[in-house]
Amino acid sequence: MASRSSRCAPPRGSCLAAVLAVAAAALAGAAAPFLPGAAAAEAGGPDWHAVSARSLRPSTACTPAEGASNSSALKVVHRHGPCSPLRSRGAAPPSPIEILRRNRDRATSMLRKIAGAAAATNAARASKGAHLPAHWATATLGTNNYVVTVGLGTPARYFTVEFDTGSDLSWVQCEPCKDCYEQRDPLFDPAKSPTFSTVPCGARECRELPSQTCSPDNRCRFECAYADGSQTDGDLARDTLTLTPSDAIRGFVFGCGHRNSGFFGTEDGLLGLGRKSVSLSSQAAGRYGPGFSYCLPSLSSGTGYLALGVGGGAPANAQFTPMVPSRALPSLYFLRLTGIKVAGRAVKVPAASMLIDSGTQLTSLPDGTFAALWSAFARLMAGRYRRAPGLSFLDTCYNFTGHAALQVPSVALVFAGGATVSLDVSGVLVKLGSDEPDVACLAFTSTGDDAPAGILGSQQQKTFAVVYDVANQRVGFGAKGCA
């Protein structure tokens, strides 16, 4: 689906000296060539992944994590995987290529949003004192690969929603519905929940919404416009949010959407985990402490978790890097990428600002950074494996027919402060489609332009406990957070 809205999509490319001052460095230098000696590196050892070709393939049966979540953690499942309640009975899930293509739309709209904010900040600077636009439309919905199930109201009704680190306001589709897309579960009906109330216009939560209006009877009306033209509007409301049977947040503020149009997908709504005060994590901070963590499973047939608060829960092995706040995009979490290692050897890349996003699948690197990673990786794979024709927009693909055991160079992302995140093999190679059983592709893309920032996508976050330690303004990555 192409992005239709122009609300947050000014022309790209005019944003180099922008709001994300840190991003400027990303554009300063072209990629340096990979060091010649590295090509001779022997496969094997700690800097290579030794995996069986089969292990890249998800199972058709749900294989939940063992001994998982003992706390208030929610179970995270892949939207289209065998553990997902959204998976329609009988109907085949979209192909991995189709899923990737939809995710690409999310990446494109996020990159436009960042470029748009950068351009607007530049314009505001140039005209001294001009104000930034109050808000930017959020990215596309329904492309996020990961969903959780939560209860809303009294008694709790259960809804399967995507969780999104790229937006703040949570919402579900509500009765009475003037315009609703088809969802799997019955709509939330406020009339059946005695703990439900609408939020009046004067309330702080209402005033803090970027786009709100007031009804004649003083109800706060919200509106969310997404970059692909989808939108939802309705009443800002409060009700009990049930996370686990023993854990509920009373008076949780969310959007009760009475008109929802343009979405595709069958999820019941969204949980916002952005940085602003209306997000679930901000609202829950009083109870669990600021921040949250999640782990995305390596295969779509596995399960992970989403937990509120950080508490003592940061894994001992977590590598932390500072959050880089953005004034123009206050909902979003940015990090600073300072280096890349391939098979343990540093590849020379300029520093780059990276949006960390739960809703974009493949990491998008600024062009020069991608080129440097690509050339180092392709050089080490060459001679070992045959190239396969590109699939969709991925063009660095390998044919592993006849190789039961693979040796794949490790890829580590190095962030400001020295946090070195050595990716799981699922963050290095992505397996596409059962029609091409032995083909997998380098799991990165380039931003395709002089973008002011890249995106750290969910594919590269897999298996890490990703800890958003808001109190200390840092993000941590703990290896082996889930399988």
Ligand X SMILES: *[C@@H]1O[C@H](CO)[C@@H](O)[C@H](O)[C@H]1NC(C)=O
Residues that bind ligand X (CB under 6 A): 70-71, 313, 388, 399, 401, 436, 439
Helices (H), 10-95: 24-28
Helix (H) or strand (E) holding 409: strand 405-409
Distance of CA 120 to the CA centre of its chain: 24
Q: For residue 52, give Cα distances in angstroms to 399, 430, 431.
A: 14, 14, 13
Specify whether the CB–CB gap between 271 and 249 falls below 8 A: no
What's the rounded Cα separation, in Å, for the pair 339 and 351? Answer: 7
Nearer to ligand X among residue 52 and residue 197 (C-beta): 52
Of residues 276 and 386, the one with the C-beta less far from ligand X: 386
Tell me the closest approach of the beta carbon of residue 399 to ligand X, in angstroms.
4
- Greatest Cα-to-Cα distance within the chain, rounded to the nearest angstrom: 73
Using left for φ > 0, alpha for ψ between -120 and 50, and beta otherwise, residue 172 falls in beta
**Shortest distance, position 298 Cβ to ligand X, whole Å:** 20
Q: How far is the CB of 295 from ligand X (least distance, A)?
A: 11
Q: Which amino acid is at 86?
A: L
Task: Write down the least CB distance from residue 401 to ligand X, Å.
Answer: 4
Query: What minimum distance in Å lies between the beta carbon of 52 and ligand X?
Result: 17
Q: State in angstroms the smallest separation of the CB of 482 from ligand X.
A: 12
DSSP letters, 13-24, are S--TT-S-GGGH
Q: At CA 5, angle to CA 461 and CA 77, rounded to 5?
A: 30
DSSP 422-482: E--GGGTEEE--SSSTTEEEESEEE-SS--S-EEE-HHHHTTSEEEEEGGGTEEEEETTS-
Taking the least distance from each CB to ligand X, the nearer of 273 and 439 is 439
* Residue nearer to ligand X on the CB measure, 86 or 310: 310
Q: What is the dihedral of CA 307, 141, 83, 278, to 10 degrees?
A: 20
Question: Shortest distance, CB of residue 21 to ligand X, whole angstroms?
Answer: 37
Nearer to ligand X among residue 366 and residue 481 (C-beta): 481
β-sheet bridge partners, residue 209: none
Choice between 125 and 384, CB closer to ligand X: 384
Grouping H, G, I as helix, E, B as strand and the rest as coil, residue 284 is coil
CB-nearer residue toward ligand X: 412 or 466? 466
Residues with catalytic roles? 164, 357
Residue 403 contacts residue 53 (beta carbons within 8 Å): yes
Which regions of 262-377 does DSSP assign to beta strands (E)?
269-272, 292-295, 303-308, 319-322, 334-342, 345-347, 352-356, 363-365
Cα radius of gyration rounded to whole Å, the chain: 22
Shortest distance in whole angstroms from residue 438 CB to ligand X: 6
User: What is the number of other CB atoms lying within 10 angstroms of the CB of residue 45?
Assistant: 12
